[in-house]
Chains A and B, each alone.
Chain A
């Protein structure tokens, strides 16, 4: 006599899987991603379904018999309400109505065994879809440690599906997955289903099902409450928050900058060797100056970006970021946003690209777009080399407040403040006009504190590295090659032209009238044009332009710059960089995340306009006082 639904009682076939595609479904914070990572390891890839910005992972699970099963990790859902984008994706995929995704033949449902009173409602809805389902009660170790309990067999009998207590973090109980995949499929029998519209009766149903299985929830871990009484303390909460923010910046600058510099040195050395290996001429120049240097200008930002993601990942997985959102909510509300925008805006100080990807946690669409639109005003790491160079060339270093705070430090700080102030002003303007949202609901679930898991952090970092290198890298690479070609054309008798006759100089002179009011000459113009690919490219461009120009060939770039700019023009250039949207990677990621060209184009026009107007004002004012 078999017990309906119990894992152990399933008939096992010859070891070949009966399912080809299995969807992993579960509520947020139930450990779904940890389970998915454990089952698929590195054999996974990220993708977006066509037409929606909801990201999903697919991966391969290897059975002991050598067979493979494809797993789809769907977005975390609380219910199957097609009104929310994430949940609609899940419903569509499970019903086989999502173009580009195969209909799964089975479901692995991951629930938090400490929250079954809520999560069993989702189980009822998922099982009602009629696909063979395995219910995993995750975090079994925590349940037991905190004095909770549940009997799996009665629960399986009630639900009509196999049920297993597992811990995705330790791997405990995961044999159940292998058993499920090779067992004869069992279509769940019609359940006595909760009444969908009535949350009170749904919950009563879930509690009844749980009590049949002698379910007792574990207590909230004592140390989560203790940590919260410090981290959310009326006074200390804010103080610790400030310390954490400073530490994040400190980590990124003190560790990120040196690793970027080191990488830059390695790349430069490699470029010299590469140049020596290839015969001199066109190919050499294309490979070294076009491709290698172009790719290198992207690559050097990788350490900072990974570091930023590591720091934010640790904060997120430990549970602190949810508290940071609560603490910052009051301030964010003043500009019409909520605490959930805080995290992306913090990341934008490193790089706007990951910051914009991080806006996915903001449920309110208008808030999310407003956050995306203001993120590039935050002073990102790509502006730093430009600021450093121009400030060092034009602003004399004089002490202002004691020996440590000089004019240069104040100039740098003012640029940070300028970007931040414009972000605040823009957010206020957007939120009181086109992106006004009446129902701003800040609802933040506070998960228990946990130790971050290095494996899942590592996988996410790899994901981000790949996304950054391939999606952004391709754009910047093509621009570098194009720029290189423009300095090489038109050729005369197989020889590249003098810089003044090159196509790039013609383009520079063509746009010169437009930038002359800002105090820029044609070389700065070309630098600006190239910096629309990525801000720091202007340095490489100015280097190239002066390098091939006999007049400034022997000078250091800082000295050579003085022939291009007056002090007023330099101030205008700094202000322009503080505001302009000069980053193709950002535009590409805004396009991807908003799923339309409308927002990146509007953002580009707006930021360029603000930059131009502000640079003009800065130029005129500086001329009055310092010429």
Chain B
């Protein structure tokens, strides 16, 4: 089972509710990226779209044991490698 590797095309925003991916890169000002990393958004970790708020924005992500809400425009700046559902279940 091979996960697709398309660095620039997939962002956190593209994941549907219940899907997960591996964090890769942050395309945003350093201070915001650092704040995200302090909250557990560290490249290499798995992130799951846990919930979608009323109206679908912001959404709640589960990463490293905590839940964090982000707007779609910010999640679009976070590059990820999507995990297939089966692969996510195995992890």
Contact = CB atoms under 8 A, between A and B. Distances in A.
Interface of A: 78-79, 81, 83-84, 114-115, 117-118, 199-200, 203, 217, 220, 228-229, 232-235, 237-238, 322, 325-327, 329-330, 333, 338-339, 363, 439, 441-446
B70 interface: yes
B57 A330 contact: yes
Contact of A444 (B31, B32, B65, B69): B69
Given A228-B51, A232-B51, A442-B74, A326 B35 contact: no
16 contacts: A78-B38, A115-B65, A199-B42, A203-B45, A234-B53, A234-B54, A235-B54, A237-B54, A322-B69, A326-B53, A329-B71, A439-B32, A442-B74, A443-B70, A444-B69, A445-B39
A150 to B, nearest CB: 14
A217 B55 CA distance: 33
Nearest to A331: B55
B29 to A, nearest CB: 5
B42 A217 contact: no
A79 B54 contact: no
B87 interface: no
B19 interface: no
- Pairs of residues from A and B, 10 with the lowest C-beta to C-beta distance, nearest first: A78-B38, A199-B37, A444-B69, A446-B67, A238-B54, A326-B69, A441-B32, A442-B71, A203-B42, A330-B55
B43 A200 contact: yes
B54 A114 contact: no
Contact of B68 (A84, A217, A325, A446): A446
Interface in B41-89: 42-45, 51-55, 57-58, 60, 64-71, 74
B58 A442 contact: yes
A233 B56 CA distance: 10
Contacts of B69: 322, 325-326, 329, 442-444, 446
Which size class do B's interface residues fall under?
20 to 34
B13 to A, nearest CB: 14
A439 B40 contact: no
B36 interface: yes
Given A333-B71, A446-B68, 11 more contacts: A78-B39, A118-B38, A229-B51, A232-B53, A322-B69, A326-B53, A330-B53, A330-B55, A441-B35, A441-B71, A443-B32
Contacts of B42: 199-200, 203
A118 B28 CA distance: 21
Contacts of A84: 31
B67 A327 contact: no
A366 to B, nearest CB: 14
A238 B38 CA distance: 30
A83 to B, nearest CB: 6
B34 interface: yes
Given A439-B28, A446-B69, A326 B38 contact: no
Nearest to B33: A199
A521 to B, nearest CB: 51
A79 B58 contact: no
Contacts of A322: 69
A446 to B, nearest CB: 4
